[in-house]
């Protein structure tokens, strides 16, 4: 079977440790982090959205702390 690849950068599942699979699209850990950075930059202009994003990032940070990985 052909390895699945990231829909954004084209990395194949055997070249990246994490590939998140969605319906018809996949994203690798590298592109997911780029997407988060992009969202943070774009959301700066929208304070209400920024609050929501901050909450989600805080939850992510708490989750990472819970599984023993700090960012």
Binding residues for Zn ion (CB under 5 A): 6, 8-9, 11, 28, 31
Q: Which of 13, 51, 45 is nearest to 29 (CA)?
A: 13
| Least distance from Zn ion to the Cβ atom of residue 45, Å | 26
**Residue 38 C-beta: closest distance to Zn ion, Å:** 13
Q: How many residues does the chain have?
A: 71
Cβ-Cβ contacts under 8 Å for 60 (sequence gap 6 or more): none
Whose Cβ is closer to Zn ion: residue 13's or residue 43's? 13
Closer of 4 and 8 to Zn ion (Cβ): 8
């Amino acid at each position: 079977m052909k390895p699945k690849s990231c829909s954004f950068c084209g990395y194949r599942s055997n070249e990246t440790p994490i590939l998140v699979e969605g319906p018809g699209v996949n994203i690798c850990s590298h592109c997911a982090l780029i997407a988060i950075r992009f969202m943070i930059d774009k959301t700066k202009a929208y304070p209400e959205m920024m609050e929501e994003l901050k909450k989600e990032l805080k939850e992510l940070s708490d989750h990472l702390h819970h599984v023993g990985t700090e960012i």
